[in-house]
Each structure stands twice: as structure tokens, then as C-alpha cells.
């Protein structure tokens, strides 16, 4: 069937929705329709994509107002009797058409202290970890860096506090490091201050849009907030941890 | 020369997948300045799609495994036209490269005693693939990326290289553009590592993304390096076939590693019907033994679904051609059947193959814990690539190195699953190490301004032809003809006709036009990539014509058997003084006795 689209066209200086129509066949996803339009009607329509299978996190956009990976959004799941709107993520500056400038995310990541493993457990330089001790970290490491969670986070999207808050993606990244059984680094002080974990007020919007279904809030952010509380607001815990950390290599 | 923004690095790495990142990390650790060029955003390169695992003889699951077995498996899989030295280095060094990833934060699935778990894969005698569910590539690229950014590597995202710059026979830089603004950029460097991946976009049905246009292959070839083994294009046996929009998307070999079986429309496990002679001794001859192998029984031999990819792809094509295929032109891949064998089977499948479960559920409305998948071959990987020195990864152009898929040699006529990720690590590291050494021993060269002006003018020409041919149409025509004429089953007549098509496509490429401006313009980028796609398509076709036999991934219906005349040669593609593409056969280097002995022992 022939379906109508309204795709945002423009750049940092402004833009508007333009109307397109294309044939939709069985099994098509939104990215297929965008590619068809690009191939036949608008060669210069800018969108990012790579894997087309929900693994690389490149084709993030807002489809009918919902943050989605275009490659994993089936046309058949959308109401096709009215135009489908596609626009770029809103928590970041616009480059062109469906392309947002996500470079801030790469700069933020660099500020988080890197992985620092304990000395190897075995003489051959390897470590031992039990599967149940890494299940949680593996959940966080499923993240494909599509930045949809950043896009819906109101601290970033509505309040534009990019200089004070690292956003759910990087809280999950920090959580994966903090909960890594081998890691010996401590990132709690930064989480509280420079990374602004306190700005998150647990509305769980990030969790709802995660295409990898990571329990960002419950499994990642809340435990991190608890660590911050333990470390900074519980005097006995603070004393105990300070002593413990000194004993560790 | 116009005033182009210029960057200067000791080592410039072009390509930021596993090989490029590993090379950049190594070069940077050696104390030289490193620039890393990503065609997309950092961390989105094709490595992210690798699913099954990293092949390395860690011997964590089966203590009988060691480098010799891995070496022999790799050579057997490659039909012995591999560069034996690369296969040797790869088998010996892969375990250290995997352990190193763990030290950098990778979190692999574990064995019961807490070590890195390894899984079965096609052509590997023992469970050998270190993995994280079915998202191993993501784990690998993220680990390298996160480690690399703390090392002071300069990352250039969303930039594409148009040409390599030379001075007196040595590479001294590269010239390209940034996607966002469409501005031209000059990169000066003492050494360059190409790590641009493969050529899959030359075909219609492919598991490869838009980036895979053979950039490194073409850049190196045009600069004067040689390409080798280009006839060997791997068609992965299991890509999705339905619905049409997802046709070609990869279905990991891990499905078969976990016990998945291939059946035709009559429910027959057809792989039992055609076990090649050189694998007969290692392959199960009944279903029960195959299942025991997948469950870790060390006395059992592996099921025929874990034969090499070239062979399985051909068997699938045969089933389809002879009318025993599935409704949408594939065959069935069934993992749901293991529920009969193990308790909590559905949960087990979801745990071991989470992204396959997700992919079929979301894109095809198929629950793989309940129903079989429909699969068919998809263009996946090119064994051929830039000819490099096995130890240093340097091409015949001084200062130009290559690693990963765009380099060639380790895989011979067919790559084993899992050997790609380990190849990226082993030879990415080596390329980085030797490029850094080269950079320390050499000075920056001079850039020829006139050369750059010519390339810039040529690159902008499509804008002068806004009524010219649509670049997407030409790209699609190329993909369709390559699929039809130089695909899984080949013959002289079709390939000769493809050369004629290619001649016409080159002509049409000089007439493509684009609309809009230079800022993030995919139409323009597609137009610029055509030159690379056409170059590699021609190289594949000419090499495939030259090898008048069937071996590994190359199947010639006009020469359906292996031929001793081609058993010890590689096809070499190089550019003549007149700009024409030439092909010749070069003899393989004689294998040293200690390696011959290994192969004999492992027979």
C-alpha cells in the first residue's frame, strides 16, 4: 500500500516537515521506507544507519514522536492511515535532516575513569569470575549506544543540563564499571558531583525506550544512587569503606 | 593548492572496527601520535555485528586444544592456499589477544570454574570461540573503543578517504572529506594502516552495511599495492530470507553451534547427505552423535551442520534449486527442537542466542524457541584483500599497512567462523606495532598539491550534473549483476558478461549526478563510493575467471572439481602502468617442515 510520510528536513538554522509517499510491503521497517524515499525521491536526505538489525544503534530517530531505532520499527506496527512523522532526536543539536550531533556523548564518556582491574587471579595472568557475578554487568554491556535514553531524559531534553549531568547511558556505563567484579577504581565521588547523578529523579523514561531492554533505572541508576548515599551520607559506612579501600592493593 | 584543513599524525589508521582500533591502540602504546578515521561514528563499524565469537585455542573447555589444532583447522578450512605464516601467527597469538581484552574490561561468558567459556563453531575441531551470548562483536569493539579513547588517539568520526597520497613510491598521507560539512581534509602521516573491512555492498543480498564498499582494497590497489585471493568471497550459509526487507541479515553460526539443525521441506537433515571426504573422519554420521558433540561429549564427532561455510552454502543452494527449499526460497534452521533434549529449552535458547531471538521476533514475527527459521546464503566476507607481509602486515608500498578483512592471506579459500575477530586482534596489533616502528624510522613526506586538486575537482563533479544518473540506481544495477553473475555458482560465460557490464557501469559512473549541497549528503557519498565498488567488483570477477577450478568459496560449474594446477597458487591483481587491471598466478611460499608435520599429525 502507499503510505504518507512527513520527514523533517533542514539543518541547525531551521527546517520543516516535508511530505513524501512510498509503497510499503510486507515486513518493511521504517528505515526501509526512508531508504526508498532517499533512493527515488530525495538522494540528499540524511540519515545514519549501519547494521539494519538493531545491533549498532545508529538509526535513532523519533517516529510519530516516539524515540525508536528506525531499523527495528515495523511499518505494520504503525497506523498507516495517516502520515508517519520522522524527525531527529531532540536532546542534541541538529546537523541535518534526521542526523543529530551526538558528539557530546563521546566527550562525556572520556571523562569517566577507565577500567582498572585487580591483579590477575591465576599465575598465567588470567582471572576467575562466576557467571552469576557478571550477569548484571553483561546486561549493561548490551548497550548499543543508540542514545535514545539520553534523548528522552528530561534533564537533558527539557532542561539541557548537558554540562552537569551525564545522562542514563553513562550512568549505566559507570554502573557496568563499578559492578565489574575485577574493577578496583572508585567513581562514586564523581558520580555525585561532576556526573550529577542526583539530577535523575527516577522517572524511568530511559528504561522504557531502551531497545536492548536494559533495566537502566532499577538495576543501574538506583544501585549507584545507593552507593553515593552510603559513601557520602552514612558516617559508619564511610569509615568502614575508607579503611577497607586502604587495605586493597 | 586551496587551503584545506590539514591534520598530522605519525600513524594514520583508516577504519575503526576491530582491526583499526587494535592497530591504533598498539601504535599509540608504542609512543607515536595516532589518528583514527571512522567512516561512521566510533563504535558502529561492522565488527559490532559479529555474533558468534573469537576463535582462540585457550583450551578452557577442551584441554586437547592448542595452536597446532587451530592452525591445522584454519589451513584445512582455507583449502591450503592460505599464507601459512599468517595462519601460524594467528593460531599462536590469538589466545593472548583474547586474554588482553579481558584485562581491558571485556566480560566474556564463563565456564563453571570461572574461566572464559568457549563454544563450538564450523570447522573448528574443539569448542574454541570465546563469546558473549551472540553479541561478541559488540563486546569486542566496545572494549577496544573504551580502552583506546583513554590512550590519546585522535578520533576523526564520519570521515571518508578518497585517495592515498604518495611521494617517491612511499605513502605520505591521505585526502578525504568530512561527512557533516562536506569539506576536504588532508592527513599527513609517516605510516598508514588500512583497516576498512570488506566489499559486501557489491552484492544485492548481503549482511554488510553501506560502509562496506571495498574502500581500503581500492585505495591500496590504485596506489600500487597488490590484491590477492579476490575470487574468494564468503557467502554465509545462513542469512534471513523473509520478509524481503530483511533479506540477507545474518543469522549467527552460533545457532548451529548450540545444536541448531538444517532441514529441507521434507524435514530431512540434508547435511548428512554430503560430507566431504577430507572432513569425513571428524564428522558425526548420525544425529545422536552430533547432538552429543554439541553437549560437550568429547568422544563424539561434530554434526555436519558445523562443516565449513562454503560447503554448507552450496548444499543449501542445491536444496533450493532442486525444489526442496522452504516457502520463501531458503531452507529451515531449527533450534527449537533442542527443547526435546534439554529441560528449560526455551529459556536456554533465549540465554544463549538473545539477539537472534529478538531479531526474528521483531523483524519476522517468528519465535525461534517455537518455530524453525528460514535461512539462505548471504554475502558476508571477502577472504581476498591487500597483499601484505605475514609478519609486519606491510604491503608492497613502503609505509602502507593493512589489517583485518581488507588484508588477505590468513583465510585462504574459505574463512572459518570466529577466525575473523581473532584475525582483527592479532594482525591489527601487528600492523599497529610495525606501522609505529616505520613511523619512528621515517620522516613526514611532502604532499603534492596538484594531485589533491585533481581529486577534489573529480569528487565535486557529480554536483555539476544535477540531471545526471541517480547513483543509487547504478549501485543497485551493480549489486544485481554481481549477485547473478559472480555469485555462489559461477561460470566463464556469466563472468565474461559481467566484465562487459562493469565496462558500462564505469561509463555510467562518470555521468552520475547528485542534488542538494555538500553537507551530509548520502547521494553524494554513494556516488563517491561507486569507484571503489566497481574496482573491487572487477577484481573479484577477474580473479574468479583466472582460477579455473572449484576450491573453497569459489565454485565454478564449468570446472566443478579441484585442480592440482591451482593447488599451490594465489591470484594476484595489480594495476598496470596504463591503468588497466592485471591478473596473474603466483606460487605459494613453500611451507616449512615443522608446519607440514603439524598438518600431517592433525589429519
pLDDT attached to residue A233: 78
Chain B nearest CA to A95, separation (Å): 7
Chain B nearest CA to A141, separation (Å): 7
Rounded Cα gap, residues B147 and A110, in angstroms: 10
Chain B residues within an 8 Å CB radius of A48: 40-41
Rounded Cα gap, residues A135 and A214, in angstroms: 12
Assigned C-alpha cell, B425: 586482534
Chain A nearest CA to B44, separation (Å): 5
The share of chain A scoring above pLDDT 90, in percent, equals 91
Find residue A62's DSSP bridge partners: A67, A87
Contact B48 A142 (CB under 8 A): no
CATH number, position A82:
3.10.20.30
Residue with cell 620522516: B443
Residue B480, pLDDT above cutoff 50:
yes
Of B138, B150, B245, the CB nearest to A114: B150
Q: Are residues A188 and A93 in the same domain?
A: no
Contact B210 A50 (CB under 8 A): yes
Residue with cell 561455510: B309
Q: What is the pLDDT of residues B45-103, one digit of tens each?
A: 999 999 899 999 999 999 999 999 999 999 999 999 999 999 999 999 999 999 999 99
Confidence label for A243 from pLDDT (cuts 50, 70 and 90):
low
Q: Are residues A180 and A142 in the same domain?
A: yes
Chain B residues within an 8 Å CB radius of A110: 149-150
Contact A128 B114 (CB under 8 A): yes
Contact A180 B520 (CB under 8 A): no
Residue B268, pLDDT above cutoff 60:
yes
Positions of B marked active-site: 236, 256
Assigned C-alpha cell, A181: 567484579
Q: Report strand pairing: B233-240 vs B54-55.
A: unpaired
Q: Are residues A226 and A124 in the same domain?
A: yes
Of A125, A141, A142, the CB nearest to B99: A125
For B497-530, give one letter per residue: b (16+ CB within 10 A) or e: ebbebbeebeebbeebbbbbebbbbbbbbbbbbb
Residues B378, B239 contacting (CB under 8 angstroms) = yes
The model scores a pTM over 0.90: yes
Chain A residues within an 8 Å CB radius of B105: 114-115, 117, 177, 180, 183
From the CA atom positions of chain B, what is the Rg in Å? Answer: 23
Confidence label for A108 from pLDDT (cuts 50, 70 and 90):
very high
Chain B residues within an 8 Å CB radius of A170: none
Rounded Cα gap, residues B355 and B315, in angstroms: 26
Domains assigned to chain B: 243-377 (3.90.700.10), 461-587 (1.20.58.100)
**Interface size between A and B, measured as CB pairs under 8 A:** 171
Contact B245 A44 (CB under 8 A): no
Q: What is the pLDDT of residues B557-599, one digit of tens each?
A: 999 999 999 999 999 999 999 999 999 999 999 999 999 999 9
pLDDT attached to residue B244: 87
Assigned C-alpha cell, B349: 535458547
Q: What is the pLDDT of residues B367-417, one digit of tens each?
A: 999 999 999 999 999 999 999 999 999 999 999 999 999 999 999 999 999
Of B49, B514, B517, the CB nearest to A53: B49
Residues 6+ apart with CB under 8 A from B283: B275, B301, B302, B303, B304, B307
CATH number, position A171:
1.10.1060.10
Q: Are residues A83 and A114 in the same domain?
A: no
Model ipTM? 0.94
Nearest to B408 by CA among B197, B98, B171: B197
Of A99, A106, A115, the CB nearest to B105: A115
Q: Are residues A133 and A198 in the same domain?
A: yes
Chain A nearest CA to B92, separation (Å): 16
Residue of A nearest to B517 (CA): A44
Q: Are residues A161 and A236 in the same domain?
A: yes
Q: What is the pLDDT of residues B11-45, one digit of tens each?
A: 999 999 999 999 999 999 999 999 999 999 999 99
Q: Are residues A122 and A79 in the same domain?
A: no
Nearest to B43 by CA among B177, B193, B146: B146
Contact B514 A44 (CB under 8 A): yes
Mean pLDDT across B175-180: 97
Which of the 8 DSSP states describes residue B407?
B
Contact B362 A54 (CB under 8 A): yes
Residue A247, pLDDT above cutoff 60:
no
Query: How far, in Å, are A228, B154, B171 from residue B32 at the CA level?
Result: 39, 12, 17
Q: What is the mean pLDDT of chain B?
A: 96
Confidence label for A231 from pLDDT (cuts 50, 70 and 90):
confident
Residue A38, pLDDT above cutoff 90:
yes
Rounded Cα gap, residues B79 and B554, in angstroms: 11
Which of A100, A122, A145 terminates a domain? The answer is A100
Find residue A87's DSSP bridge partners: A62
Chain A residues within an 8 Å CB radius of B107: 129, 134, 137-138, 141, 180
Of B104, B250, B363, the CB nearest to A115: B104
Q: Output the CA torsion B486→B487→B488→B493 (10° steps).
A: -40
Contact A142 B142 (CB under 8 A): no
Chain B residues within an 8 Å CB radius of A78: none
Chain B nearest CA to A94, separation (Å): 11
Count of domains observed in chain A: 2
Of B102, B476, B516, the CB nearest to A127: B102
Backbone angles phi, psi at A5, to 5 degrees: -130, 150
Rounded Cα gap, residues B456 and B463, in angstroms: 12
Contact A29 B516 (CB under 8 A): no
Chain B residues within an 8 Å CB radius of A69: none
Rounded Cα gap, residues B590 and B568, in angstroms: 9
Find residue B5's DSSP bridge partners: B185
Return contacts of B115-120, CB within 8 angstroms, 24+ apart. Answer: B115/A126, B115/A128, B115/B58, B115/B60, B116/A126, B116/B58, B116/B60, B117/B60, B117/B61, B118/B53, B118/B58, B118/B60, B118/B61, B118/B62, B119/B52, B119/B53, B119/B254, B119/B257, B119/B258, B120/B257, B120/B293, B120/B294, B120/B302, B120/B306
Q: Are residues A184 and A240 in the same domain?
A: yes
Structural domain boundaries enclosing A143: 103-247
pLDDT attached to residue A222: 97
Which of the 8 DSSP states describes residue A171?
H
Chain A nearest CA to B590, separation (Å): 35
Chain B residues within an 8 Å CB radius of A14: none
pLDDT attached to residue B603: 84
Chain A nearest CA to B512, separation (Å): 12
Contact A26 B49 (CB under 8 A): no
Which of A66, A100, A134 terminates a domain? The answer is A100
Query: How far, in Å, are B11, B19, B222, B446 from residue B187 at the CA level?
Result: 10, 20, 18, 11
Residue of A nearest to B521 (CA): A44
Q: What is the pLDDT of residues B281-312, one digit of tens each?
A: 999 999 999 999 999 999 999 999 999 999 99
Q: Are residues A44 and A129 in the same domain?
A: no
Phi and psi based region of residue B528 (left: phi greater than 0; alpha: psi -120 to 50; beta: remaining): alpha
Chain B residues within an 8 Å CB radius of A138: 107, 109, 132-133
Of A29, A54, A74, the CB nearest to B358: A54
Residue with cell 552484492: B203
Q: What is the pLDDT of residues B518-558, one digit of tens each?
A: 999 999 999 999 999 999 999 999 999 999 999 999 999 99
Q: Are residues A92 and A107 in the same domain?
A: no
Residues B428, B141 contacting (CB under 8 angstroms) = no
Contact A141 B142 (CB under 8 A): yes
Chain B residues within an 8 Å CB radius of A13: none
Contact A141 B358 (CB under 8 A): no
Assigned C-alpha cell, B473: 540506481
Backbone angles phi, psi at B70, to 5 degrees: -65, -45
Query: How far, in Å, are A5, A99, A159, A196, A206 from residue A155 at the CA level?
Result: 30, 21, 5, 10, 11
Residues B210, B158 contacting (CB under 8 angstroms) = no
Rounded Cα gap, residues B414 and B125, in angstroms: 16
Q: Are residues A230 and A241 in the same domain?
A: yes
Residue A249, pLDDT above cutoff 90:
no
Which of A63, A81, A100 terminates a domain? The answer is A100
Contact B471 A43 (CB under 8 A): yes
Chain A nearest CA to B45, separation (Å): 8
Return contacts of A155-158, CB within 8 angstroms, 24+ apart. Answer: A155/A196, A155/A199, A155/A200, A156/A91, A157/A90, A157/A91
Q: Are residues A134 and A196 in the same domain?
A: yes
Contact A134 B43 (CB under 8 A): no
Amino acid at each position: 500500500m502507499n503510505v504518507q510520510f512527513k520527514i523533517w528536513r533542514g539543518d541547525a538554522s531551521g527546517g520543516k516537515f516535508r511530505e513524501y509517499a512510498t509503497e510499503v510491503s510486507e515486513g518493511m521497517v521504517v528505515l526501509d521506507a526512508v531508504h526508498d524515499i532517499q533512493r527515488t525521491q530525495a538522494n540528499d536526505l540524511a540519515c545514519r544507519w549501519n547494521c539494519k538489525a538493531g545491533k549498532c544503534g545508529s538509526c535513532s530517530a523519533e517516529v510519530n514522536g516516539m524515540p525508536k531505532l528506525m531499523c527495528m520499527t515495523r511499518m505494520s506496527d504503525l497506523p498507516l492511515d495517516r502520515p508517519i512523522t520522522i524527525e531527529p532526536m531532540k536532546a542534541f543539536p541538529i546537523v541535518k535532516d534526521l542526523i543529530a550531533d551526538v558528539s557530546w556523548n563521546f566527550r562525556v564518556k572520556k571523562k569517566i575513569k577507565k577500567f582498572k582491574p585487580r591483579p590477575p587471579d591465576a599465575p598465567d595472568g588470567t582471572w576467575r569470575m562466576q557467571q552469576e557475578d557478571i550477569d548484571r554487568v553483561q546486561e549493561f554491556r548490551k548497550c548499543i549506544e543508540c542514545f535514545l535514553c539520553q534523548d528522552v531524559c528530561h534533564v537533558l531534553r527539557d532542561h539541557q543540563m548537558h554540562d552537569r549531568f551525564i545522562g542514563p547511558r553513562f550512568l549505566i556505563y559507570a554502573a557496568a564499571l563499578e559492578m565489574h567484579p575485577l574493577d578496583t577504581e572508585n567513581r562514586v565521588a564523581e558520580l555525585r558531583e561532576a556526573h550529577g547523578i542526583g539530577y535523575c529523579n527516577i522517572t524511568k523514561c530511559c528504561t522504557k525506550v531502551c531497545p536492548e531492554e536494559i533495566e537502566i533505572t532499577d538495576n543501574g541508576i538506583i544501585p549507584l544512587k545507593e552507593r553515593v548515599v552510603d559513601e557520602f551520607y552514612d558516617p559508619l559506612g564511610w569509615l568502614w569503606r575508607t579503611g577497607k579501600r586502604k587495605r586493597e592493593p | 593548492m586551496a587551503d584545506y584543513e590539514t591534520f598530522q599524525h605519525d600513524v594514520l589508521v583508516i577504519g575503526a572496527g576491530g582491526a583499526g582500533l587494535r592497530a591504533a591502540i598498539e601504535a599509540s602504546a608504542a609512543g607515536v601520535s595516532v589518528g583514527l578515521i571512522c567512516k561512521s561514528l566510533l563504535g558502529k563499524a561492522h565488527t559490532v555485528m559479529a555474533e558468534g565469537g573469537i576463535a582462540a585455542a585457550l583450551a578452557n573447555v577442551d584441554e586437547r586444544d592448542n595452536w597446532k589444532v587451530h592452525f591445522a583447522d584454519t589451513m584445512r578450512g582455507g583449502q591450503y592456499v592460505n599464507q601459512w605464516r599468517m595462519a601460524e601467527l594467528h593460531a599462536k597469538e590469538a589466545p593472548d589477544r583474547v586474554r588482553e581484552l579481558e584485562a581491558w574490561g571485556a566480560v566474556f561468558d564463563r565456564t563453571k570454574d570461572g574461566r572464559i567459556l568457549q563454544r563450538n563453531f564450523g570447522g573448528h575441531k574443539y569448542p574454541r570461540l570465546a563469546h558473549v551470548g551472540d553479541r561478541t562483536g559488540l563486546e569486542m569493539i566496545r572494549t577496544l573503543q573504551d580502552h583506546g579513547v583513554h590512550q590519546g588517539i585522535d578520533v576523526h568520526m564520519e570521515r571518508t578517504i578518497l585517495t592515498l597520497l604518495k611521494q617517491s613510491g612511499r605513502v605520505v598521507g591521505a585526502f578525504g572529506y568530512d561527512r557533516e560539512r562536506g569539506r576536504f581534509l588532508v592527513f599527513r602521516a609517516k605510516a598508514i594502516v588500512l583497516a576498512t573491512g570488506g566489499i559486501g555492498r557489491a552484492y544485492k543480498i548481503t549482511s554488510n552495511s553501506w560502509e562496506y564498499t571495498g574502500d581500503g582494497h581500492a585505495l591500496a590497489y590504485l596506489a600500487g599495492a597488490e590484491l590477492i585471493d579476490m575470487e574468494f568471497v564468503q557467502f554465509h550459509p545462513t542469512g534471513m530470507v523473509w520478509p524481503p526487507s530483511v533479506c540477507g541479515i545474518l543469522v549467527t553460526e552460533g545457532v548451529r553451534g548450540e545444536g541448531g539443525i538444517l532441514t529441507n521441506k521434507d524435514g530431512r537433515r540434508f547435511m548428512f547427505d554430503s560430507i566431504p571426504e577430507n572432513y569425513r573422519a571428524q564428522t558425526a554420521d548420525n544425529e545422536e552423535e552430533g547432538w552429543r558433540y554439541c553437549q560437550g561429549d568429547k568422544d563424539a564427532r561434530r554434526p555436519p551442520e558445523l562443516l565449513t561455510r562454503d560447503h554448507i552454502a552450496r548444499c543449501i543452494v542445491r536444496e533450493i534449486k532442486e525444489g526442496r527449499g522452504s516457502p520463501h526460497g531458503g531452507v529451515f534452521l531449527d533450534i527449537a527442537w533442542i527443547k526435546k533434549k534439554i529441560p528449560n529449552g526455551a529459556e536456554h535458547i533465549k540465554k544463549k542466542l538473545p539477539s537472534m531471538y529478538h531479531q526474528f521476533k521483531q523483524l519476522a514475527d517468528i519465535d525461534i524457541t517455537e518455530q524453525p527459521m528460514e535461512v539462505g546464503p548471504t554475502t558476508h566476507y571477502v577472504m581476498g584483500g591487500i597483499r601484505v607481509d605475514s609478519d609486519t602486515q606491510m604491503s608492497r608500498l613502503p609505509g602502507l599497512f593493512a589489517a583485518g578483512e581488507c588484508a588477505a592471506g590468513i583465510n585462504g579459500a574459505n574463512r572459518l567462523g570466529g577466525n575473523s575477530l581473532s584475525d582483527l586482534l592479532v594482525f591489527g596489533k601487528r600492523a599497529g606495532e610495525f606501522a609505529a616502528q616505520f613511523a619512528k624510522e621515517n620522516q613526514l613526506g611532502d604532499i603534492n598539491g596538484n594531485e589533491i586538486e585533481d581529486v577534489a575537482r573529480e569528487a565535486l563533479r557529480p554536483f555539476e550534473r544535477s540531471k545526471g544518473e541517480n547513483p543509487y540506481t547504478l549501485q543497485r544495477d551493480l549489486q544485481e549483476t554481481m549477485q547473478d553473475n559472480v555469485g555462489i555458482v559461477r561460470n566463464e560465460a556469466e563472468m565474461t558478461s559481467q566484465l562487459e557490464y562493469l565496462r558500462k557501469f564505469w561509463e555510467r559512473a562518470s555521468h552520475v549526478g547528485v542534488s542538494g549541497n555538500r553537507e551530509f549528503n548520502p547521494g553524494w557519498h554513494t556516488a563517491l563510493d561507486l569507484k571503489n565498488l566497481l574496482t573491487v567488483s572487477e577484481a573479484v570477477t577477474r580473479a574468479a575467471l583466472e582460477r579455473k577450478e572449484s576450491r573453497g568459496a569459489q565454485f565454478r560449474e564449468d570446472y566443478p572439481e579441484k585442480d592440482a594446477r591451482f593447488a599451490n597458487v594465489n591470484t594476484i591483481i595489480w594495476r598496470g602502468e596504463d591503468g588497466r587491471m592485471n591478473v596473474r598466478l603466483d606460487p605459494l611460499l613453500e611451507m616449512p617442515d615443522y608446519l607440514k608435520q603439524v598438518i600431517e599429525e592433525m589429519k
